[in-house]
Amino acid sequence: MSSIILAVVIGAAFGAVLDRIGATNPNWIGKMLNLTNLHLMKTILLAIGTASVLMFGGQMLGLVDVGHMSVKTAYAGVFIGGLLLGGGWAAAGYCPGTGVCAAATGRKDALFYIAGGLLGAAAYMVTYPAWKSAGLLEGEKLTLGTVPGSGYDGILPVSGDILGIVMGLAFVAVAIALPERLRGGGEAVAPAE
């Protein structure tokens, strides 16, 4: 039961923050991906960096349970799937989480997006054996460095905890260094909504 309460609290907080940073708004996503307004990109990079530093710092101090880490397998399909997701993300302006949130805020196109998403997920359920037999789902669960107690192998011979903090700080630095826009002239224009 307590896990359901946590799901409600953390889920609601996540949805609310996605709404407040503009991630549920296809205008912000479109302007980020066509590189004319990188405000949302700076937000996301800073978030990844902040979470990384807190998580690895907490693990080193023994305040965060390393067992809560959940690293996904790296395999060829991750890249192919990433390409597909990227194309659809740019066209629609939604990723799976923000599409659900956007529909909840009343955006009609997001309802069509969810319907397409359910059909796409079903199509994958049906075609999964083909990807599996092609060997494109074979891989390993790897992190950059080896994180003590995580059970995952690192690809570099360095402390995964310290490297995690360094990477987190690097994300923060890129968030700060990134300009407001990379394409087009003048000041980056914020969407009205």
CB of 149 to other proteins, least distance (A): 13
Cα–Cα distance between 126 and 33 in angstroms, integer? 31
Q: Which of 62, 179, 187, 192 binds other proteins (CB under 8 A)?
A: 192
Does 43 engage in binding with other proteins (CB under 8 A)? yes
* 121-159 CB burial, b ≥16 within 10 A, e <16: eeeeeeeeeebeeeebeeeeeebebbbeebebebeeeeb
- The one-letter amino acid code at 160 reads G
CA atoms of 164 and 62, how far apart (whole Å): 15
Q: Which of 60, 61, 69, 148 binds other proteins (CB under 8 A)?
A: 69
Q: Which helix (H) or strand (E) holds 24?
A: none
Backbone angles phi, psi at 105, to 5 degrees: -90, 5
| Residue 174 binding other proteins, by CB under 8 A | no
The correct pick among 60, 142, 159, 174 for binding other proteins (CB under 8 A) is 142
**Nearest approach, Cβ of residue 134 and other proteins (Å):** 11
- Residue 177 CA to residue 159 CA, distance in Å, equals 27
Q: Quick check: 138 binds other proteins (CB under 8 A)? A: no
Task: Considering only residues 84 through 113, tell me which ones interact with other proteins, judged by CB under 8 A.
Answer: 84-110, 112-113
Please report, as residue ranges, which positions from 17 to 36 form the binding site for other proteins (by CB under 8 A). 17-22, 24-28, 30-31, 33-36
Task: By CB under 8 A, tell whether 158 contacts other proteins.
Answer: no
